[in-house]
Amino acid sequence: MSRRLIVDGCLSRPGFVLEAQLDIDLDHTVGLQGATGAGKTSLLRIVAGLEPGFTGYLQFGAQVWHDSAKGISVPTHLRKLGVVFQDARLLPGRTVLDNLRFAASRSPAPSCAEQLASLARDFSVDTLMGRSVDTLSGGERQRVSLVQALLTQPQLLLLDEPFSANDGDHRRQVATALSDWLNKEALPLICVSHSAQELHLLARTTLKMQAGRIVQQGATADMLRRDADDKAFGATVLEVDQLSGRATFQWDRFDPEIAELTVGDRIYVSQQPEQGSPVSAPLQPQAQQNHRKAD
Amino acid sequence: MNADLQAIGLTGLLAGVTTLVLVLLATPLAWWLAISRSRYRPIVESLVAMPLILPPTVLGFYLLVFLNPESVLGGIWVRVTGQSLTFSFSGLVIASVIYSLPFMVQPLQGAFRAVPISVRESAAVLGASPRDVFFNVVVPLARGGFLTGIVLTFAHTIGEFGVVLMMGGNIPGETRVLSIAIYEHVETLNYDAAHFLALGLMGFSFLSLWLIYRVAGRSAEVLRG
């Protein structure tokens, strides 16, 4: 079955125009990257059929999902999607189990209780089953939402920052569990993420969006390397203490989206810092650093 | 006394039938008002809210004009059922449905509007059709609005007077409802009987409102405007 996704059209709202031109084979998982407001979420919502203002053409595999010229628009619930929104929406006033059952009973081939239980274990929501979703933390909501999406046995998975509210270890664990599931089910995926590590883990191909357009497309590793080079930070040395090897910098270029540094953090630069001289160093994506540590 | 019991029974029946008809009628209307972006929405909203402001006599007058057997609508009704719509129970039901329309529509509309579009979207991506979303997601979340609407409509219909007087008259067992019975008792200076019914109505009104504020809790915000 073909998994080609074609998007060709535009969505305009006051102060924002998204011109989507995309023809991509989703046999490889796809990551979506870009600054806030670049249109990543809107693109996912167009694919999901949640943007009534979209005009143009949209096709997944052999199914035409939207064709403004012919007046075709397949409603969302018939597109067989799994979607995790950034704010991890659940059905309020119900327990986690009720939420999961709601999803399971609407899948094309209703999944059994066993599958529900095993998915819940994989994404560590098995301990939350009896709780009302209104009492969950952001990270817990995201995990429940993810299990919900997988339970509908989707033909395409759309994730919008699906782990952003989970911290450190949990985040890695959930991303790994998802990556295993994707490999097992060969499920096509489009995943929006700011985290280089997650893109490495989940996406073979990455698209970069800027101001409502897709501006770059390539293998995730290449894209992230290029990204890191672009955003290499630069600083001017203010003061050097030769004895302790400590230097004080003033940042010239620094992107908080790809690195977090606080006073006292250790960084490595390629040249000997001297007072008044500029220094720069390309930032390594975190995942690469981790890989190296692991080696 | 027997006549009063008959009036109480008739009033209860009228309120019950009116509430039932309004649940079925107002639910789709309130849903449309809650989600529609049509430019005709404010017009429909205004029409629905009219009975809140109009004197019941005005409403009753026009219903009398449009539903009497000599009118087009009233004439059709007579030909189909053999009965007149004015001075009959069926006519009272129609009048009450119009008179109490905002009391059902507005709480429902408020409750439907309080269900975020994001919740409907997430149900849709899980494969729920619009009908499925409405009955299994929206309605359960709007149950407070349903309770408020049902109790308010029922209580409001119980207290109906002007409309009934205009187009129903005072026919025992057919159109002689509680408020009319009280009016008649006062007219004939039968204050004891008037007290009996009036106090009963007071108590009933208080209990209805107490039930709404107590049980429906936050969804009763609509009552506070």
Q: Which long-range contacts (CB under 8 A, 24 or more apart) does A55-59 make?
A: A55/A9, A55/A10, A55/A11, A56/A7, A56/A8, A56/A9, A56/A10, A56/A20, A57/A6, A57/A7, A57/A8, A57/A9, A58/A6, A58/A7, A58/A8, A58/A9, A59/A4, A59/A5, A59/A6
> What is the distance in angstroms between the Cα of B136 and the nearest Cα belonging to chain A?
9
Inspect the interface and report whether the beta carbons of B141 and A92 lie closer than 8 Å. Answer: yes
Q: For an interface test with A, which of B119, B125, B136 has the most A Cβ atoms less than 10 Å from its Cβ?
A: B125
- B129 CB neighbours in chain A (<8 A) are 75, 77
Q: Residue A36 — φ and ψ, nearest 5°?
A: -60, 135
pLDDT at A83: 93
pLDDT given at position B115? 93
Q: What are the extents of the domains in chain B?
A: 2-36+43-220
Kindly give the parts of chain A with pLDDT less than 70: 1, 110-111, 227-237, 242-245, 249-295
pLDDT value of residue A287: 37
The residue of chain B nearest to residue A81, with distances taken between CA atoms, is B125
- Please give, rounded to a whole number of angstroms, the shortest distance from the CA of A162 to a CA of chain B: 14
Q: Are B129 and B87 in contact (CB under 8 A)?
A: no
Closest chain B residue to the Cα of A47, Cα to Cα: B125
Nearest to A60 by CA among A37, A36, A71, A44: A44
CATH 3.40.1350.10 assigned to domain A4-227? The reply is: no
Rounded to two decimals, the ipTM of the complex is 0.74
- Shortest alpha-carbon distance between residue A261 and chain B (Å): 36
CA neighbor of A225 nearest in space, from A180, A283, A143, A181: A283
- pTM of this structure: 0.77
Q: Locate the chain B residue with the closest alpha carbon to A93.
A: B141
pLDDT at site A259: 57
- Which CATH number is B2-36+43-220's, of 3.30.70.360, 3.90.1570.10, 1.10.3720.10, 3.40.50.1820? 1.10.3720.10
A83: nearest CB among B125, B130, B140: B125
Tokens describing residue A67: 């064709």
Per-residue pLDDT of A16-47, as tens digits, reads 888 888 898 888 889 998 888 888 999 999 99
Question: How does pLDDT run along chain B (225 residues), one tens digit per residue?
Answer: 678 888 899 999 999 999 999 999 999 999 999 999 899 999 999 999 999 999 988 988 998 898 888 888 888 888 888 888 888 898 899 999 999 999 999 999 999 999 999 999 999 999 999 999 999 999 999 999 999 999 999 999 998 888 888 888 888 888 888 888 999 899 999 999 999 999 999 999 899 888 888 876 654 444 443
A103-120 CB burial, b ≥16 within 10 A, e <16? bbebbeeebeeeebeebb
In tens, the pLDDT along A62-82 reads 999 999 999 999 999 999 999
The one-letter amino acid at B32:
W
With contacts defined as CB-CB under 8 Å, which chain A residues touch B131? none
Q: Which residues contact A221 (CB under 8 A, 6 or more apart)?
A: A200
